Amino acid sequence: MKTRAAVALGAGKPLEVMEVNLEGPKAFEVLVEIKATGICHTDEFTLSGADPEGLFPAILGHEGAGVVVEVGPGVTSLKPGDHVIPLYTPECRQCEYCLNPKTNLCQAIRSTQGAGVMPDGSSRFTTLDGDPILHYMGTSTFSNYTVVPEIALAKIREDAPFDKVCYIGCGVTTGIGAVINTAKVEIGSKAIVFGLGGIGLNVLQGLRLAGADMIVGVDLNNSKKEMAERFGMTHFVNPSEVEGDLVAYLVDLTKGGADYTFDATGNVNVMRTALEASHKGWGESIIIGVAPAGAEISTRPFQLVTGRNWRGTAFGGARGRTDVPKIVDWYMDGKIEIDPMITHTMPLEDINKGFDLMHAGESIRSVVLY
Ligand code: NAD
Ligand code: AHE
Ligand code: ZN
């Protein structure tokens, strides 16, 4: 079939919206009509050329929701008409990783996914001239129709609005999951969240759900303050307005350091500050942000010797096929909010405007509606 897609032709170039060919689903694959997709900072990271795994030409996008159109041979858990959210972290329920309760990082198809192809080693997308176009994160939601492995689809309830729950495909689950699944924050905790964008705001609402007492938000952009307060932030700090050492300021503000800190910026200097602003003896600092090729974190080992813990999280530690339908329920039951964070919507033709809004710091989430 033919489908409309925004194609990343090369690093640093705007996406080009065009018709492409899409081959039908092979064994254990599913054809999905994407109804809506968010634009995450990670799409921008890969498009910019900063991703060591970035490949071109490719169809980016990993925060979608849609409907199953056709299933390939061997697919048993889904049927045409089912509503689904594609998962860049699949859940095969069989691999060594899925069988270990300590991780959500299913590895069943990780190597082919990273190479931009389906598990059989080939791409379903080609240009109208027949040249291959690669998949991205196993999802490629910047295409109106996409082919996804069965193990990388969460089946969700049919009354959930696609234009909102697409955000559960990455940002919502990542932020809330970092608090609930990875840090396992306790009632009464003190926390600091660095970066109050599409991920950081969801860390804030996760902290509110977990019953944290003091929730400090840190961002260079003062316009993020109002929305952050709405999602549970109790104190705001703009590092550019702090005189002297930021770590000392935050340790003082939290009376000894925070029980939990979260980096949602992707900046390795911020990651160091986040670690060092966590409490001596027991503080935990969770890295969510994705850093550019070549960037490395550093600190004095003494920071760890004296009891601070440095950890990371992907997709909020969530097992997608199991956890994503539950998070959709939380949204539908009013336990979590999504709507105010979707600040802009646009048709696929205008997808580059979504990236412009992100660069300008004017959006939280832009969502493309097909
Ligand atoms: P975003 O652009 O919406 O938000 C980033 C925020 O950080 C902005 O508000 C910006 O003003 C702020 N910021 C930038 N530099 C700062 C600094 N030095 N100090 C304080 N604040 C600063 O991005 P997002 O979609 O929220 O993504 C955030 C990060 O999380 C990105 O690196 C993204 O790639 C990563 N991410 C990781 C996962 C995961 O599974 N680990 C999932 C999704 C996104
Ligand atoms: N390819 C990059 C790393 C990108 C990365 O860390 N991705 C996160 C999800 S970000 C979603 O917005 C992730 O899931 N990581 C685990 C994995 O297996 O990719 C690089 O640096 O090479
Ligand atoms: Zn993302």
Average pLDDT over residues 40-49: 97
Distance from chain centroid for Cα 311: 17
In whole angstroms, give the CA distance from residue 291 to residue 271.
Answer: 10
pTM of the model: 0.98
pLDDT tens readout for residues 263-311: 999 999 999 999 999 999 999 999 999 999 999 999 999 999 999 999 9
Query: Whose alpha carbon is nearest atom 23 of ligand 1?
Result: 41
Is residue 328, in this structure, part of any structural domain at all? Answer: no
CB 282 within 8 A of CB 307: yes
Whether residues 117 and 263 share a domain: the answer is no
User: What pLDDT is stored for residue 20 in this prediction?
Assistant: 98
Which of 367, 340, 343 minimizes the C-alpha distance to 36?
A: 367
User: What pLDDT is stored for residue 256 in this prediction?
Assistant: 98
Using DSSP's 3-state secondary structure scheme, residue 79 falls into coil
Q: What is the CATH number of the domain that holds 79?
A: 3.90.180.10
Average pLDDT over residues 59-75: 98
Whether residues 290 and 161 share a domain: the answer is no
Boundaries of domain holding 221: 174-315
Is residue 302, in this structure, part of any structural domain at all? Answer: yes
Which of 301, 297, 242 minimizes the C-alpha distance to 274?
A: 297
SS (H, E, C) 241-276: HCCCCHHHHHHHHCCCCECEEEECCCCHHHHHHHHH
How many Å lie between the centroid of ligand 1 and the Cα of residue 367? 17
**Catalytic residue (choose from 95, 103, 230, 344):** 95
Going from the C-alpha of 48 to that of each of 77, 309, 345, 355, 359, the distances in angstroms are: 36, 31, 22, 11, 11
Is residue 331, in this structure, part of any structural domain at all? Answer: no
Whether residues 240 and 211 share a domain: the answer is yes
Whether residues 184 and 129 share a domain: the answer is no
Average pLDDT over residues 12-36: 98
Whether residues 214 and 235 share a domain: the answer is yes
ipTM: 0.99
Query: Whose alpha carbon is nearest atom 15 of ligand 2?
Result: 314
Whether residues 92 and 117 share a domain: the answer is yes
- Tokens 């599913």 locate to 30
Cα atoms in the Cβ-side hemisphere of radius 13 Å centred on 47:
25
Average pLDDT over residues 53-67: 98
How many Å lie between the centroid of ligand 2 and the Cα of residue 89? 9
In whole angstroms, give the CA distance from residue 38 to residue 85.
Answer: 12
Split into its structural domains, the chain has a count of: 2
Cα atoms in the Cβ-side hemisphere of radius 13 Å centred on 101:
0
Is residue 208, in this structure, part of any structural domain at all? Answer: yes
- Mean pLDDT across the chain, nearest whole number? 98
Q: What is the dihedral of CA 282, 237, 173, 178, to 10 degrees?
A: -10
Instruction: Answer with the one of 280, 300, 315 that is the final residue of a domain.
Output: 315
Q: Residue 344 catalytic?
A: no
pLDDT tens readout for residues 193-228: 999 999 999 999 999 999 999 999 999 999 999 999
How many Å lie between the centroid of ligand 2 and the Cα of residue 290? 7
CB 123 within 8 A of CB 136: no
Is residue 108, in this structure, part of any structural domain at all? Answer: yes
- Tokens 């930021």 locate to 246
Whether residues 126 and 179 share a domain: the answer is no
In whole angstroms, give the CA distance from residue 162 to residue 223.
Answer: 28
pLDDT tens readout for residues 93-145: 999 999 999 999 999 999 999 999 999 999 999 999 999 999 999 999 999 99
Average pLDDT over residues 305-319: 98
Helix (H) or strand (E) holding 328: helix 320-332
**Catalytic residue (choose from 83, 98, 124, 146):** 98
Is residue 75, in this structure, part of any structural domain at all? Answer: yes
Whether residues 275 and 183 share a domain: the answer is yes
Whether residues 146 and 25 share a domain: the answer is yes
Whether residues 201 and 235 share a domain: the answer is yes
Which of 327, 337, 329 minimizes the C-alpha distance to 87?
A: 327
Is residue 322, in this structure, part of any structural domain at all? Answer: no
CB 328 within 8 A of CB 320: no
Q: Residue 92 catalytic?
A: yes
Whether residues 133 and 187 share a domain: the answer is no
Closest atom of ligand 1 to 196 CA is 9
Is residue 88, in this structure, part of any structural domain at all? Answer: yes
Whether residues 12 and 160 share a domain: the answer is yes
Confidence of residue 261 (pLDDT cuts 50, 70, 90): very high
